Structure 1
Amino acid sequence: MHQNEDIGFLVKIITECIDKMANQHLKQFDLTLSQGRILQYLRERIGEKTSQKDIENYFDVTHPTVIGILNRLERKGFIRSEFDSADKRVKNIYLIPEKEISVYYAMGDFKKIVDQKLSQGLTDVQMKELQSLLKMILNNLQD
């Protein structure tokens, strides 16, 4: 099997293409895809306490990685962080709504663009089959 036919290689190239498109799309906000994803995650959890640990667990990334991303988001004015009043070891993260709302809509627009590009030329049946196969692959990797 040639490298360009290898499933893992194809998934990697697809992911890199999506990341590149997203970073270009988010450049207008001086954000990366990783930062945009965290803002979107926080947006979905409005009204709930969200700690750094919650973010680490959800995205399955290390503590230093999350700290770096959150520090950059805080410097850019998208979030604020506070130590939890009940447990000073826990740092909670909060969105600054005035700044993140435009990013939220831009991320939604970007998702639609990517979904259109990914599904271009595929029938509804093929899309459902692709989703099923990708879920199966993910389950295989998580076992």
Structure 2
Amino acid sequence: MSFIYRKENFTTTQKDLEIFLDVSHPTINGILKRLEEKKFITTEMTKKDGHLSKTVRLTKKGENVLIESEKEKNLHEEALSAYLTKDERNKLIELLLKVQKSASEMEK
């Protein structure tokens, strides 16, 4: 949902989500169905350049959930890093990014 939140008008396509999340069509269908059941998103079929695509839009409820989860995430980050200096926090981020890059390369 955060991917959709960063898009213009909180709207994207199913295909863009598949690519971003690197998941199959059936997998994203299941995810979108559950999000729609919870009223976090809406979907509709649209025709663009002669092709049908599914447009996915974040609802106000979905937006509110994201905002609240971001607040919670920030509180947890602050609590977890309370005893670190600014330099230590920056170093931790640097190291975690290296680990993430290494993990990504291993998946290839």
For Structure 1 versus Structure 2, the TM-score category normalised by the shorter chain is 0.7 to 0.9
Q: C-alpha offsets along residues 78-99 of structure 1, whole Å, 9 cap, x if unaligned?
A: 21111222121x21101222x2
Q: Contact between 2:11 and 2:58, CA under 8 Å: does it hold in 1?
A: no
Same amino acid, percent of matched pairs: 31
Aligned alpha-carbon RMSD (Å): 1.9
Unaligned runs of 5+ in 1: 1-37
8 Å contact 2:18–2:25 — kept in the other structure?
A: yes
- Pairwise mapping of residues 1-143 of structure 1 onto structure 2 (< 5 A)? 38=1, 40-47=2-9, 49-86=11-48, 87-88=51-52, 90-97=53-60, 99-143=61-105
Unaligned runs of 5+ in 2: none
Matched AA of 2:20: Y
- TM-score using structure 2 length: 0.79
Q: In structure 2, how many angstroms separate the alpha carbons of the residues matched to 1:124 and 1:85? A: 50
The 3 A distance-change label for structure 1 pair 65 and 113 is farther
Verify the 8 A CA contact 2:4 2:11 in the aligned structure 1.
no
Shift of 1:54: 1.3
What per-residue deviation string (whole Å, max 9, x for no partner) do you get for residues 84-130 of structure 1? Answer: 22121x21101222x22321221121121221133131111111111
SS in 1 for 2:43: strand
CA distance in structure 2 between the aligned counterparts of 1:110 and 1:65, rounded to whole angstroms: 27
Aligned-residue offset at 1:49: 4.7
The alignment of Structure 1 onto Structure 2 pairs a total of residues equal to: 103
Tell me which protein shows more strand as a share of its residues.
Answer: 2
- Richer in helix (by share): 1
Q: Tell me: higher relative CO, structure 1 or 2? Use CA pairs within 8 A at least 6 residues apart.
A: 2
Shift in CA distance, 141/109, structure 1 to aligned 2, threshold 3 Å: same
With structure 1 as the length reference, what TM-score do the two structures score? 0.62
